[in-house]
Every structure is written in structure tokens, then in C-alpha cells.
Amino acid sequence: MPSDSHQNERRKHDRFEVRNLAIAVPNKPSSQVARIVNISKGGLAVRYLEQTNWLGNADAIDILVNNSFLMTNIPIKHVSDYKVDNQVSFSIISERQCCLQFGPLSPEQQLLLDEFIVKYGAGSS
């Protein structure tokens, strides 16, 4: 797995932690939601309960925040997926982190992404 400094060097956009509960849902028949942990104009990272193949063959996701924000059919490309350390030492629940790169976004999707980052992004991660 590449070091964080290597990933930071490859990133073209500032990445922001997401302070509200925002979820991503792959566009596939049966989907589990994942919590968005950080986002940039180029992509995002999500965490989900460990299971097999969260993203599957999906090539797009939806982003939701309560009833206040919805962005649909966002084209994505899978970058990486790995197990993350559990912050609660006695927990038996395992989490994974999936990193996704955005594909070409429509002008409307670009505006929604900017709105999402302004409303729900907090500092650089």
C-alpha cells in the first residue's frame, strides 16, 4: 500500500473531511451504504462495514445527506479498497475504506459537488 505522502503528491485537489453524516450508494441492484469520510473535486473516500464487494461493478454512485442534499449518477473509477484499523479495540466489527476517483461530471454535477464541499467539508484531511 502506498504511503500517505505518496498519495498526497498524486492528488490534484485539496481533500476535505466530511463533518456530517453523508452517505454514498453504488448504482447496482443491491447496495449497502457507505459513510463519506473525505471528498475533493477529484474524488472521495468512503468507509463501510466489511463485506464482499461493496462497489461491485458499479460505475456510478449517489451521494445523500439526510433530506437536504442529493447528487445522483456520479461517474466513478475505483482507486483502492483496504481494511482500516478499528478505533474501538474490543469491537468485532471491521471496516474497509474505498477510494474513488470521479469521472467526467456534468456542469450541474460540478455545481452540486462545489455546494457539497462548501456545506459539508471541513478543513483539509
Distances (CA, A) of 42 to 10, 99, 123: 11, 11, 16
Question: Tell me, what's the pLDDT at 2?
Answer: 43
Span 20-124: which CATH code?
2.40.10.220
- Per-residue DSSP letters for 99-122? EEEE-PPPHHHHHHHHHHHHHHEE
Measure the CA–CA gap between 115 and 48, rounded to whole angstroms. Answer: 24
Question: Tell me, what's the pLDDT at 4?
Answer: 44
* Sign of the C-alpha dihedral computed for residues 73, 77, 83 and 86 taken in this order: negative
In the chain, the N- to C-terminal Cα span, in Å, equals 19
Mean predicted lDDT score pLDDT of the chain: 86
- Count the helices and strands in the chain (H runs, E runs): 2, 8
Measure the CA–CA gap between 17 and 124, rounded to whole angstroms. Answer: 6
Report pLDDT digits (tens) over 5-47: 434 445 577 889 998 899 999 998 888 899 999 999 999 999 9
Listed by start position, the domains of the chain span 20-124
Portion of the chain with pLDDT greater than 70, in percent: 84
Q: What is the dihedral of CA 15, 16, 22, 26, to 10 degrees?
A: 0
Q: Are 41 and 13 in contact (CB under 8 A)?
A: yes
More confident residue, 112 or 125: 112
Report pLDDT digits (tens) over 91-102: 677 889 999 999
Question: Tell me, what's the pLDDT at 17?
Answer: 94
